[in-house]
Amino acid sequence: QQPVQSPQAVILREGEDAVINCSSSKALYSVHWYRQKHGEAPVFLMILLKGGEQKGHEKISASFNEKKQQSSLYLTASQLSYSGTYFCGTGQDNYGQNFVFGPGTRLSVLP
């Protein structure tokens, strides 16, 4: 079952922060985050596994709350290059079975 993402779209000014949420009605083992720019392939950002992980990559970090079956992606001091559509993907077991992407959150960073 497809996870839910919120918000659907967000517009920021350069330097502002954003949070994108991903939640599922099913128990999750893993959450992936990818960013896709228009006309391009999605690019991997990070994976979080069961166990309440938090990860960071420069100014982009994420948390995974397995009890709440949700993950959040944090973008701080956003840059123009952060613009794109962010997808979360969720997996339900250690084998990566039933992996499905959310509908995406369209992020626009304006100068």
Partner 1 sequence: GAVVSQHPSRVICKSGTSVKIECRSLDFQATTMFWYRQFPKKSLMLMATSNEGSKATYEQGVEKDKFLINHASLTLSTLTVTSAHPEDSSFYICSARTGGNEKLFFGSGTQLSVL
Q: Is 84 in the site for partner 1 (CB under 8 A)?
A: no
Whether 52 contacts 65, CB under 8 Å: yes
Question: How are beta strands 60-65 and 54-57 bridged, if at all?
Answer: antiparallel
Q: Is 40 in the site for partner 1 (CB under 8 A)?
A: yes
Whether 48 contacts 41, CB under 8 Å: no
Q: Which one among 25, 41, 81, 111 touches partner 1, defined by CB under 8 A?
A: 41
Point out which residues bind partner 1 (CB under 8 A).
Answer: 2, 29-30, 32, 34, 39-44, 47, 49, 85, 87, 89, 91, 93-97, 99-104, 106
